[in-house]
Structure 1
Amino acid sequence: MKTTIKFKVSCLFLFLSIISIAQTEKTVPVFKDGEAQIVEGFSDPDKWIRHDLFVETTFDTDGDGKLDRMHVSVTRPEQTENEGLKLPIILCSSPYYAGTATGAEEGLFWNVNHELGEKAPKRSHPEVKRRGERPIISNSHIQKWVPRGYIVVHTSAPGTGFSQGAPTVGGPNEALAPKTVIDWLCGRAKGFTSPDNTEEVTAFWSTGKVGMTGTSYNGTIPLAAATTGVEGLEAIIPIAPNTSSYHYYRSNGLVRSPGGYLGEDIDVLYDFIHSGDPSKRAYSNKTIRDTELINGMDRETGDFNDFWAGRDYLTKMKPMKAALLMSHGFNDWNVVPEHSYRIYKAAKEKGLPTQIYYHQNGHGGPPPITLMNRWFTRYLHGIKNDVEKDKRAWIVREHDTQDNPTPYDEYPNPKASPVVLHLKNGAPEQGKLEVESNKNKKTETLVDDHNISMEELAKAVNSKNRLLYTTPIFTKDVHISGTTSITIKLASSKPAANLSIALVSLPWNTNKDALITDNIITRGWADPQNHKSISESKPLKPGKFYTMTFNLQPDDQIIPAGQQIGLVIFSSDNQFTILPKPGTELTIDTNETEISIPIVGGIESYIKAVK
């Protein structure tokens, strides 16, 4: 009988112990195969804690005599409140969260229909209407990362939404603002419950490990923050970032609009995002837009100057410590691919952990979730998954989905080397691109007409408005990887002219099931007045020949057998440049013009493909 009682007591004690253990078991991040897994305890949106606060910065850009405060929105699992759990942070910053100008108002963009070097008619300055009482914050990152054991923090850029200050479109405050938020997440800066009170808020739930990501402008800000060298920013994943305002709005001395936004310039973007406190806009407009931006951007010449140099993050990377996973599309003609490559290359040379992901589509497009997850798991959670030993380059091949990239040792492909092709005359039809240098008996001339698009010029059997030179039809695939450059000797009939270049795959395919996914291989633009330097332009002497060399956009593309490469030389590009009256003549010295294309396998591979 006593034995039975003792046994029952023992069972009861064991049962109560199991209940006690179950009650004290806490929800924690889970990792498998080097990736943070979705955890059920973190996945109920109704249990997420959401709150807003304001982090005090070190600057005053709205002229009110007080330090600007940035609006911050936090979304975190309930366990960070009731179980003492600390988690790393995914920080996202943007000027777009709270509303933008419509872009449809007449006069928002600069008028591009005028002669080169002339001042364009003045444009109007629209007011941004801010959305809602609480800015609408993107949920995509919250839904992706909170269930995997992260806290997601959003912050509006200076002068946008509820953040104080003024937008500067690449000025110092746009780097210092996210830096200060990171300082707050690491306990080094002050946060408050409102824009103007003294009630402090602390990030007691933060591990002090921060990663940043975002697309376009939202991808620029992670790089801006990283260039400050702020402690705690461990890794960034910029997606199609604008890494230099000059490279966004200019090209080799030429005034060039981003694709899809003809007539946009840096002051236009300022107006587009300026959704902050309306009572502060007059001061910001006067000191930033109407003084700093308008006086610095020099829309008449397109020359590089100190204003543009101050908005180039490549020159500010010395303090950068964050691991970098870069992402871009090779057919992004809004933020062109050179933006990501130039930063990736510099980060690699600094010895930072680096990877690059490229796809074959247009603007935007994050890396596959597996790549992002492994990156953040390694550098934010500290899980040693050997991601730093993975392949450096991930390229989505033609017709593959964006979540199925092909890994390569490096970008550009280490097996690629320059193949120099020379021009053989053939205007107004097609000339030839040949390995051997040609001695043409005469030059060739094209007549500028912006009414004809590049695509129409490339497809035309003959045209006086472009020069077209083609390789033989390939009998084997040709793999281009890297940056194509052109050396061109030309003369203009006028003191100023646009110069546009496109490398295309022919014949032009419109069939979506064709081997070619996009006929545009790469393209580039330049101002012949800047043949010596992008910082100094001089009027051309009509009829005098000038030589200049410049790069087209980086690419990685396989041109299949049955296609051929075409070099299109033309003047004004109606998708990108100022559009003067038609009629300017460009004359090309074809004996002194050549194009250098990086081809995997080099000249040997190319010769085999054209036999």
Structure 2
Amino acid sequence: MAQSVIFKNMHVEWDVPIPMDDGVVLRADVFRPSADGRYPVLLSYGPYAKALPFQVGYRDQWEALIRDFPEVASGSSCKYANWEVVDPEKWVPQGYVCVRVDSRGTGRSPGVLDIFSPRETKDYYNCIEWAGTQPWSNGKVGLIGISYLAINQWLVAGLQPPHLVAMCPWEGAADYYRDWHRHGGILSSFTSTWFKNQVIPVQYGVGRKGYRNPYNGLLVAGDETLSDDELARNRMDPYLEALARELDGPWYRERSADWSKVVVPFLSCGNWGGHGLHLRGNVEAFLRAASKKKWLEIHGLEHWTHFYTDYGLNLQRRFFDYFLKGIDNGWDREPPVWLNVRYPGEEYVLRKEWEWPLARTQWTKWYLDPANSSLSGQIPHKESHATYHAMGQGITFWTPPFEKETEITGPVAAKVFISSSTTDADLFLVLRLFDPEGREVTFRGAVEPAAPVAQGWLRASHRKLDPDLSREWRPYHSHDEYQPLTPGEIYELDIEIWPTSIVVPPGYRLALTIQGRDFEREGETGQLETLGRFRGSGPFVHKDPWDRRLEIFGGQVTVYGGASRPSYLLLPVIPN
């Protein structure tokens, strides 16, 4: 039975039932103005347990956020602040209803846990339609949330629920294969760590073995306590499912956005430091979704930070005030692309643009010269090659010092000619920036504290391109066919490197590293209790021993350059 209280002119209801079409009843918390009326709804649906406070479940992130940005706690008791969803104390006084739903099989909602499944997406649809028809609703529902709670927005938007009016997916992947599980065809180990540490602890049925909400006394993961065997039977393991599916196919497609059906207005917010999860989907959405009213914003810092800062809050509020309240605040006249252009030293300058990639981009090729490990504006006169051990440090190619300040903003790509001593090769490409003294300039990424400028990946046997979707600046691989290598034979690979932004000062150099394993620094760069220790690539690493079998991926790889095999790095240079 739902419980309710009045708190600071806010009516709070816990465990409101939402019946599904198959008889399962999901549970939601509803925060609404205490005054009677009909209000627009901001809804989120996900697996992180609506009853688990931010500062309890994600203490490290919360303490850093409040320390660095005290504005986040200004005007709020923070007792209703939760991981990756809005703080209702920031929205309800502005005339919004905030609804949080525990997804099927998580928190206080029973059922089988199967993330991003068609069943879960249908549940989300039902929740939207339920919220749009409640007596406190004006019939207009908006979706908002970070990461998981952004990803499933793309999925449910494809079902086109009638009461869905607008949405703001904040740093959310959209392609379950390319953005999440298999970067360039290589299995990401992230899912295993994340699922074990962030989802299973709040699976429905953990009950007394889990958290208790200190503010309302409710058990975060349900009132009944199931055995470990029962819990295991009530969930699907997404990592094992992806491990069993190297090629793209129906399982990935039904958990990915269908851009032809995403027609709702949206504000898509990505992160320059989100390589591995928190960028590509946001950009692809802006490029390919059918919606006629869409905006792209890209920022920096940790992926949860600006969602809660005044910058992010004001951005979200303007967007939803326009679409959910009908306030003429000029949002419809805003340019569709907002870029926080990145400078060394974690400096960002907001600039508004009219398209992506930028029309004035000067696509600039830097050619690889294996003879001297350089990147040059001209194709090397002499043919050369260099070999590295796939599990070693790889090869790093350097530009000369830049003579003038140069902005690089947009998609990045590479064409690389290689051969392998085995029947396959995994290529990990890392773009980095160095100052005149040879010190690397790093950035606070979405999760990684010392992120490089950009990263890209490709399994050589997945080199086949989709001719309709591929562009020189964004190769698009079909991942529908396995094409093994003949040892010693030379192959041409086009590699997508996720978008970036960096203004290179005079005297600084760029470096492109090609190697056969995850980019890692010598020492630990940071850690999070829920995601482990990091060394340069955050939690987005590729270490499954079966997917990365040494007899296939642990050989010698040779990179070629020169007139007949012009390997190059393609950079989006933006003129002043």
Alignment TM-score, normalising by the size of structure 2:
0.74
Amino acid at match of 1:186: G
Q: For residues 285-328 of structure 1, give each alpha carbon's deviation from its aligned partner in whole angstroms, at most 9, with x where no partner exists.
A: 558626xx5774235x7322221122111xx2333332111112
Q: Tell me if the contact between 1:368 and 1:403 (Cα under 8 Å) persists in the aligned partners.
A: no
Cα offset, 1:381, TM superposition: 0.4
- Correspondence 1:586 to 2:557: yes
Partner of 1:146: 92
* d(CA) in 1 for partners of 2:347, 2:368: 36
Distance 1:282 1:153, change over 3 A: same
Specify which of 346, 358, 379 is matched with residue 298 of structure 2: 358
Q: For residues 162-199 of structure 1, give each alpha carbon's deviation from its aligned partner in whole angstroms, at most 9, with x where no partner exists.
A: 11222222111222222212211223xxxxxxxxxxxx
Partner of 1:129: none
Q: Tell me if the contact between 2:40 and 2:96 (Cα under 8 Å) persists in the aligned partners.
A: yes
Partner of 2:390: 448
Specify which of 564, 574, 591 is matched with residue 509 of structure 2: 564
Specify which of 412, 416, 422 is matched with residue 484 of structure 1: 412
| Pairing 1:533-544 to 2, within 5 Å after superposition | 533-544=478-489
* d(CA) in 2 for partners of 1:352, 1:526: 33
Cα offset, 1:552, TM superposition: 0.5
Q: Tell me if the contact between 1:242 and 1:248 (Cα under 8 Å) persists in the aligned partners.
A: yes
Specify which of 364, 370, 377 is matched with residue 425 of structure 1: 370
Q: Secondary structure at the match of 1:340?
A: helix
Q: For residues 71-108 of structure 1, give each alpha carbon's deviation from its aligned partner in whole angstroms, at most 9, with x where no partner exists.
A: 1111111112xxxx2111111222102569999xxxxx
How many percent of aligned residue pairs carry the same amino acid?
A: 19
Distance 1:583 1:58, change over 3 A: closer
Distance 1:476 1:518, change over 3 A: farther
Partner of 1:72: 28
Distance 1:401 1:510, change over 3 A: closer
- Correspondence 1:50 to 2:2: no
* d(CA) in 2 for partners of 1:386, 1:434: 46
Partner of 2:459: 527
| Pairing 1:126-145 to 2, within 5 Å after superposition | 140-145=86-91
Cα offset, 1:385, TM superposition: 2.1
* d(CA) in 2 for partners of 1:480, 1:512: 16
Q: Secondary structure at the match of 1:552?
A: strand
Deviates more, 1:273-282 or 1:159-168: 273-282
Partner of 1:412: 357
Amino acid at match of 2:378: E
Specify which of 324, 337, 340 is matched with residue 279 of structure 2: 337
Q: Secondary structure at the match of 1:379?
A: helix
Cα offset, 1:269, TM superposition: 7.3
Cα offset, 1:158, TM superposition: 1.2
| Pairing 1:57-206 to 2, within 5 Å after superposition | 57-59=20-22, 67-80=23-36, 85-97=37-49, 98=51, 140-187=86-133, 203-206=134-137
* d(CA) in 2 for partners of 1:477, 1:558: 7
Amino acid at match of 1:90: L
* d(CA) in 2 for partners of 1:530, 1:162: 42
Q: Secondary structure at the match of 1:321?
A: coil
Q: Secondary structure at the match of 2:113?
A: coil
* d(CA) in 2 for partners of 1:268, 1:580: 26
Q: Tell me if the contact between 2:287 and 2:356 (Cα under 8 Å) persists in the aligned partners.
A: no
* d(CA) in 2 for partners of 1:282, 1:352: 48
Specify which of 401, 404, 424 is matched with residue 496 of structure 1: 424
Specify which of 319, 324, 329 is matched with residue 385 of structure 1: 329
* d(CA) in 2 for partners of 1:567, 1:401: 21
Q: For residues 371-397 of structure 1, give each alpha carbon's deviation from its aligned partner in whole angstroms, at most 9, with x where no partner exists.
A: 211101110001122312102122223
Amino acid at match of 1:447: H
RMSD of aligned alpha carbons: 3.4
Q: Tell me if the contact between 2:48 and 2:198 (Cα under 8 Å) persists in the aligned partners.
A: no
Distance 1:144 1:312, change over 3 A: same
Partner of 1:459: none
Specify which of 546, 550, 557 is matched with residue 491 of structure 2: 546
- Unpaired runs of at least 5, structure 2: 1-5, 59-78, 206-221, 444-448, 465-477, 521-536
Distance 1:252 1:519, change over 3 A: closer
- Correspondence 1:303 to 2:247: yes
Q: Secondary structure at the match of 1:345?
A: helix
* d(CA) in 2 for partners of 1:245, 1:253: 12
Q: Tell me if the contact between 1:324 and 1:352 (Cα under 8 Å) persists in the aligned partners.
A: no
- Correspondence 1:312 to 2:243: no
Cα offset, 1:159, TM superposition: 0.8
Specify which of 359, 364, 371 is matched with residue 315 of structure 2: 371
* d(CA) in 2 for partners of 1:423, 1:384: 52
* d(CA) in 1 for partners of 2:556, 2:346: 43
* d(CA) in 1 for partners of 2:91, 2:247: 43
Partner of 1:119: none
Q: Tell me if the contact between 2:20 and 2:26 (Cα under 8 Å) persists in the aligned partners.
A: yes
* d(CA) in 2 for partners of 1:500, 1:78: 54
Q: Tell me if the contact between 1:303 and 1:534 (Cα under 8 Å) persists in the aligned partners.
A: yes
* d(CA) in 1 for partners of 2:162, 2:353: 31
Cα offset, 1:268, TM superposition: 8.4
* d(CA) in 2 for partners of 1:424, 1:510: 22
Distance 1:580 1:135, change over 3 A: farther
Q: Tell me if the contact between 2:297 and 2:339 (Cα under 8 Å) persists in the aligned partners.
A: yes
Q: For residues 178-229 of structure 1, give each alpha carbon's deviation from its aligned partner in whole angstroms, at most 9, with x where no partner exists.
A: 2212211223xxxxxxxxxxxxxxx211101111111111222332332210
Alignment TM-score, normalising by the size of structure 1:
0.70
| Pairing 1:224-263 to 2, within 5 Å after superposition | 224-246=155-177, 247-258=179-190
Specify which of 384, 393, 396 is matched with residue 468 of structure 1: 396
Amino acid at match of 1:544: E
Q: Secondary structure at the match of 1:297?
A: helix
Q: Tell me if the contact between 1:506 and 1:519 (Cα under 8 Å) persists in the aligned partners.
A: no
Q: Tell me if the contact between 1:489 and 1:546 (Cα under 8 Å) persists in the aligned partners.
A: yes
Partner of 2:473: none
Partner of 2:74: none
Q: For residues 397-454 of structure 1, give each alpha carbon's deviation from its aligned partner in whole angstroms, at most 9, with x where no partner exists.
A: 336989973322333322113212212233xxx522222222434321111335xxxx
Q: For residues 234-279 of structure 1, give each alpha carbon's deviation from its aligned partner in whole angstroms, at most 9, with x where no partner exists.
A: 1111111121221212112212334xx7x54879876465335655
- Unpaired runs of at least 5, structure 1: 1-43, 60-66, 104-133, 188-202, 451-464, 606-611
* d(CA) in 1 for partners of 2:202, 2:458: 29
* d(CA) in 2 for partners of 1:89, 1:447: 55
Q: Tell me if the contact between 1:479 and 1:556 (Cα under 8 Å) persists in the aligned partners.
A: yes
Aligned residues: 474
Q: Secondary structure at the match of 1:398?
A: strand
Q: For residues 458-478 of structure 1, give each alpha carbon's deviation from its aligned partner in whole angstroms, at most 9, with x where no partner exists.
A: xxxxxxx32222222112121
- Correspondence 1:275 to 2:208: no
* d(CA) in 2 for partners of 1:157, 1:73: 12
Amino acid at match of 2:142: G
